[in-house]
Amino acid sequence: MARRLGISYLEVVQVFRGVRPNSVHTWLARELMSGVCPAIVTTNFDDAIENAYTELGGNVVWLGDVGELGAGLMEGNMSGKPVLVVVANGPAFSTFLKYFTVALGAGQVVFLFKIHGDCKDAKSCIDTERQRLQGLPSFVTSVLNLLLRRTTMTFLGFSGTDLATHPNYIRIISSADVANIRWLLRESDAEPDCFPAFREKLGTERFQVIRGSMVGTINSSDKTIEERLNQWAINYVGSLRAVLTIHDLCQEAKLPTADVEKLLVGYGTGVPASPTIKSVSLLALFTQHFRRLSNAGQREADPVDFVATNLGTALTISTNSQEIITNEVRIINLARKSSKFVKAHRLKDALETIREAILMRRRLFTDSRDFFSAYKLLIVYAVVLDAIGLEKEATIRLQDAKDTAILAGDSTGIEFTTELLSTRKIDIVPVKSVAHVPGPVTENDLLVSIPAFDNTVVLHNGFSNASLLRAHLNRALLVGDYVAFAPNYFNNRSLITEVLFDSEGSLRTEILCFLRPLLPLSQVCKVKEKQADGKETVKTFTLDIRASPNPIMAYRLNCQVNMVGFLAEIIPDEFIAKIDAFYQAHPHLIYWYDYNAIGSNYPRRLLNLTNVVGIPEEDPRHLVYSAMKSFSELCLSDSYLTRSKLYDFGDLFEDGLSMAAFEKKHMTAWLSPEATPEIREKAQYVMKCRAIFQKDRLKYADLLKLVADSPYLLNMPLTFSFSMCADDNEMELVEVIKPSLAENDGVEQTEILDYLNAGQIRVFELARLDMAQLVTFRESKEAVSFRNALRVLNKMTPKTPGFVETQESVVQAGKKLFEFLYKELPDVDSRPLLDVKNVGGGVVKAKHIAILEKISFTVNMSSPIQAVFDIPRFEIPGIFPAVKRSLKEE
């Protein structure tokens, strides 16, 4: 139905607006209002919970426009009424992750997360197989990860059917080591198929099934909704759409027409006098129209021609939708015409016609996900190429068809193309073998830093975080010899559990061969110890990391997980232990550095950055710089300064700190009577500023994070220089930190050169490169030439003769690398078409006809359902080369 009706299908959710809450909704709203439950997650579209909350005297605010939201929350708090914040679309989820995670469970507001969208915004809704197969957007899964980590999640009235084929759909499997689940089933309910997997991953203590019933009763039917549904059917379905929808259902269910007609005996074929359209009436209308199609001799084909010739009179649709439908029909008719040419052994005409269809699709539907049959066009194209005798090219196009189906979330298309590819024996691209044992390292190796690997980087743009991280990794390995793996990267859960390990929990050693962990030789650690009287004291000791038999695990446990002032995301020790074991076997990959030599870089750059004068008081930077400078000076007065401490100060972690918790963790000694008046006054000022920042996060949070992150960007312990793979977020950080790089005279000064960008490649294609393909591309002459040119540049300073010419050679090599990759990694749904001018001969075989017979095309009867998220693109080479400003010899 969704395929036929397009965006009109989602308009059906409008019928749930203004639904009267039942006693269950009222009970849930009361649990929210009392603070017993800090948040509810629902897949329902209706606004019954919101209405119940309002009836109980609470205020409801929809998280959308940040300015409006701020005013709404202020009004709610000023009136003394509890505030329910509804989070229901992409911008809302992203805003929550950016500004409001600290409010979760804090008692000021409660949240309603509508992960499938809201009836007030049809475009936000997820209710089709296609959308579900694509998975929930990353901004939704990030919220689910947060809730699973910080709360006990109780499932009420949720069937779990979505999880039978996709058990990690709501992130329970990927958060299995920290999740606590309670699932309510009625006494008579059978357990969903996903339960065994949950018990295996979580254990019986953290996954418990409760038998019973919810408080309240659920109405068996709602006359208002029934009437609205009937009206929707009249407005958006109509007789012709009903014909096509039922036709699709029959095909999907593989029901012979005769069997369908048996269901209609006794119901007649006329339109009922009542405006209420019942299902039997739709079937009756289907019978009537199907007979017309059959009599016209079109029974064997999809009724596309019939639709094309009857659009004007049969449908009442907008001009825009009619144009879209007309374009769809034009493209599909060309594809069907090409199939007829194949059957008639007219291969030249078939090739020209399907090329025209594909080019028209790309022109009229630039996003292939908006044209549901895009992958089918590529199958027809592949069949024609195969019949001509271009078997390798045909295989490439079949793989493109499969990838296009994956992009669209079409399970049928994925299954069909997988079956077709399984019968072919041709390697598309010869690839190098993958090594699981690393090669040697040298002083000339080009190390690449990836800021996006930091666990504090926000990637919530809709696309899978794991895919984004894999794309970052692949790009870095194309432009550098090794990736510098900073210690804080071990706190990135998605990177560790979804990139460095496969879905079966096996370590991807072929990736680790190219990662060089950066570890300090030793480090001073401060850990909390509980005394016999129950009090906690802080113990200071120096950890000799290099002498440890398991250095990575030792660093993680002593310098991150248990160390005061550092953040460590909860990641199972078994993952870190396996990584540690790999590097114990290959210790030459570890990059050892002296922490004391670089430990002062971060605070020095931060103080230089915040020591700006002349900023007007009304500018948010005035207060942020002043407060951060004061807090940094306090930290350095008797201890050390880390970015984690600044994140605590700015309340930038998802697991935030209340004012009381922050004072206890960081400020107690400076606020005590024993502190000097100067220290105490500065500490009081810091607490006052933090209270302001917490109260107005919308105004200050972004700037606080920018100032905390920028000096950290270059705090990498590499002896000479490095390059950064960066994108928009990191580019902003670079611009902020540049002025602070010249504050220190000497050999350690760094200069960031101009950003290198020759073009863009879509993340989907970059992320899907396996290591065998990646190694093949790394050894191409274009990639080798670029790395060699960059390696020469990294041995220079701006004063070295030939520096400008060498820098230009790097730019030119980067352009050639992009041109090579763009040719090898085109968008799978937009690969340049083969220009076959002389098509002669060729053999049309029975297998070609059989494939074409299995293809049926679907016409949306409205504007297509929009994809839930855009697919980002990465710039190539996408790096900031960094060189030293001077050398000892100079």
Output 660-664 pairs: Cβ under 8 A, ≥24 positions apart: 662/690, 663/687
Task: Name the residue with higher pLDDT: 525 or 627.
Answer: 627
Per DSSP, the three-state class of 324 is helix
User: What is the token pair recorded at 827?
Assistant: 């968008």
Count of other CB atoms within 10 angstroms of residue 415: 12
pLDDT category of residue 395 using cuts at 50, 70 and 90: very high
Q: What is the pLDDT of residue 455?
A: 66
Q: How far is CA 238 from CA 271, 277, 398, in A?
A: 11, 9, 37
Give the position of tokens 């895919």: 467
Name beta bridge partners: 86. 62, 112
Under 8 Å CB-to-CB from 223, ≥6 apart: which residues? none
- Taken in order 463, 467, 472, 476, is the CA torsion positive or negative? negative
Q: What is the pLDDT of residue 682?
A: 96
Q: What is the pLDDT of residue 271?
A: 36
Burial category of 702 from C-beta neighbours within 10 Å (exposed 0-12, middle 13-18, buried 19 and up):
middle
* Residues 707/609, Cβ–Cβ less than 8 Å: yes
Q: What is the pLDDT of residue 690?
A: 95
* Residues 691/662, Cβ–Cβ less than 8 Å: no
Residues 729-762 as b or e (16 or more Cβ within 10 Å = b): ebbebbebbeebbeebeeeeebbbbebbbbbebb
What does the DSSP assignment read for 21-40?
P-HHHHHHHHHHHHTS-SEE
Percent of the chain with pLDDT over 70: 74
Lowest mean pLDDT segment, chosen from 22-31, 167-176, 309-318, 504-513? 309-318
Euclidean distance between CA atoms 44 and 30, whole angstroms: 18
pLDDT category of residue 776 using cuts at 50, 70 and 90: very high
Backbone Cα Rg of the chain = 31
Note the Cα 71 to chain centre separation in Å: 30
What string of H, E and C letters represents the secondary structure of 103-124?
A: HCCCCCEEEEEECCCECCEHHH
Lowest mean pLDDT segment, chosen from 33-37, 113-117, 185-189, 227-231? 227-231
What's the rounded mean pLDDT across residues 41-56? 89
Task: Name the residue with higher pLDDT: 852 or 559.
Answer: 852
Euclidean distance between CA atoms 720 and 447, whole angstroms: 10
* Residues 332/373, Cβ–Cβ less than 8 Å: yes
What's the rounded mean pLDDT across residues 540-564? 87
pTM here is 0.76
Q: What is the pLDDT of residue 258?
A: 45
Lowest mean pLDDT segment, chosen from 324-328, 382-386, 541-545, 682-686? 324-328
Query: Among 427-436, 605-614, 666-675, which range has the highest average pLDDT?
Result: 666-675
User: What is the token pair recorded at 510?
Assistant: 């072929």
Task: Name the residue with higher pLDDT: 276 or 609.
Answer: 609
Per DSSP, the three-state class of 570 is coil
* Residues 853/416, Cβ–Cβ less than 8 Å: no
Residues 602-612 as b or e (16 or more Cβ within 10 Å = b): bbbbbbbbbee
pLDDT digits (tens, 9 = 90+) for 636-685: 998 778 888 898 999 887 777 889 989 998 999 999 999 999 999 999 99
Q: What is the pLDDT of residue 836?
A: 73
Euclidean distance between CA atoms 428 and 416, whole angstroms: 19
For residue 446, pLDDT beyond 50? yes
* Residues 511/549, Cβ–Cβ less than 8 Å: no
Query: Among 222-236, 443-457, 714-728, which range has the highest average pLDDT?
Result: 443-457
723-725 vs 873-884, strand pairing mode? antiparallel
Task: Name the residue with higher pLDDT: 664 or 745.
Answer: 664
pLDDT category of residue 229 using cuts at 50, 70 and 90: low
pLDDT category of residue 728 using cuts at 50, 70 and 90: low
Q: What is the pLDDT of residue 291?
A: 42
Q: What is the pLDDT of residue 235?
A: 60
Q: What is the pLDDT of residue 857?
A: 81
pLDDT category of residue 565 using cuts at 50, 70 and 90: low
Q: How far is CA 507 from CA 496, 500, 552, 583, 743, in A?
A: 9, 6, 15, 12, 43
Q: What is the pLDDT of residue 81?
A: 65
For residue 31, pLDDT beyond 60? yes
**DSSP single-letter state for residue 664:** I
Q: Which of 883, 519, 875 is nearest to 723 (CA)?
A: 883
pLDDT digits (tens, 9 = 90+) for 328-387: 889 999 999 999 999 999 999 999 999 999 999 999 999 998 888 899 999 999 999 999
Could you give the dihedral angle defined by the CA atoms of residues 69, 72, 74 and 80, in that order, rounded to the nearest 10 degrees? Answer: -140
**DSSP single-letter state for residue 850:** H
pLDDT category of residue 292 using cuts at 50, 70 and 90: very low
Per DSSP, the three-state class of 340 is helix
Taking the domains of the chain in order of start, what are their residue ranges? 20-211, 231-429+844-853, 601-714
Q: What is the pLDDT of residue 190?
A: 85
Percent of the chain with pLDDT over 90: 32
For residue 314, pLDDT beyond 50? no
State the DSSP H helix or E strand holding residue 539, giving kind and residue range, or none if neither.
Answer: strand 536-544
What's the rounded mean pLDDT across residues 149-162? 83
For residue 310, pLDDT beyond 70? no
pLDDT digits (tens, 9 = 90+) for 807-856: 999 999 999 999 999 999 999 999 999 877 777 778 999 999 999 999 98
Please state, rounded to an integer, the average pLDDT across all residues of the chain. 79
pLDDT category of residue 172 using cuts at 50, 70 and 90: confident
* Residues 414/405, Cβ–Cβ less than 8 Å: yes
For residue 865, pLDDT beyond 70? no
pLDDT category of residue 228 using cuts at 50, 70 and 90: low
pLDDT digits (tens, 9 = 90+) for 455-514: 666 665 667 788 889 999 999 999 999 999 988 888 888 899 889 998 788 999 999 999
What's the rounded mean pLDDT across residues 244-248? 52
What's the rounded mean pLDDT across residues 729-746? 64
What's the rounded mean pLDDT across residues 181-199? 87
* Residues 655/145, Cβ–Cβ less than 8 Å: no
What's the rounded mean pLDDT across residues 396-414? 88
For residue 860, pLDDT beyond 70? no
Euclidean distance between CA atoms 30 and 24, whole angstroms: 10
pLDDT digits (tens, 9 = 90+) for 69-81: 554 454 445 456 6
pLDDT digits (tens, 9 = 90+) for 868-879: 677 889 999 998
For residue 400, pLDDT beyond 90? yes
Q: Which of 699, 441, 461 is nearest to 590 (CA)?
A: 441
Task: Name the residue with higher pLDDT: 188 or 383.
Answer: 383
